[in-house]
Amino acid sequence: MDPLFIRLCDRLYLACVWFAGTAIFLMSLIIPWGVFTRYVLGTGSQWPEPIAILLMMVFTFIGGAAAYRANAHIAVTMFTDTLPALLQRLAGWLVDLLMLVACGFVAWYGTRLCIATMGQSIAELPWLPVGVTYASLPIGGFLTLLFVLERRIFGSQQDRAIVRYEEAAAAAH
């Protein structure tokens, strides 16, 4: 199970990075277009804002899962660093337990929200069900939950080459 689960998480991690990166790239194109059409052309487009919000949700929840696996979130460890080693490990377990609860909550209720709003549409984008725009909530929650389980079972993956690819690329040049 070790190599298979970690390989699966590697692929999911790369997918998260690509989805989040693509979302922020597209946002950087769409938002200026909306500003241009509103202030230069005088006829603001209706679609850039809802699409940008959708992409921001993808970036936030899917990118957040990747950031968790890479241990790239901001952590205030001033208190826990002063604890004895045993209490530090217990605090780590407590944090991961709370993360599992939070991820389970987001995945469960995010799924329910998607299902409940699937019959509604956005006024500016009538072809897009509201439930689709919320899909990154349960997906990101589930992916983060997998990465929390991976960390608890196999340890942190933050120092592996797949997570630190930019350092490997810089060393190659």
| Listed residue (58, 83, 63, 81) closest to 73, CA to CA | 63
Cα separation, 131 vs 112, whole angstroms: 9
Confidence band of 46 (pLDDT split at 50, 70, 90): confident
Phi/psi of residue 91, nearest 5 degrees? -65, -40
> Average pLDDT in the 73-86 region?
86
What confidence tier does 41 reach under pLDDT thresholds 50, 70, 90?
A: confident
Q: What pLDDT does residue 171 have?
A: 67
Q: What contacts 98, CB < 8 A, 6 or more positions away?
A: none
Q: Which of 11-20, 66-75, 89-98, 103-112 has the lowest mean pLDDT?
A: 66-75
Q: Which pTM was predicted?
A: 0.87
Mean pLDDT confidence for 50-58: 93
**What's the pLDDT at 1?**
46
pLDDT in tens, 81-92: 899 999 999 999
One-letter identity of residue 173? H
Q: In this predicted model, which residue has the larger pLDDT, 26 or 162?
A: 26
pLDDT at position 118: 95
Domain ranges of the chain: 2-172
pLDDT digits (tens, 9 = 90+) for 117-148: 999 998 888 898 999 999 999 999 999 999 99
Q: Are 22 and 82 in contact (CB under 8 A)?
A: no
Mean of the pLDDT values across residues 152-173? Answer: 77
Which amino acid does the sequence have at 84? P
By DSSP bridging, strand 125-129 and strand 121-122 are antiparallel
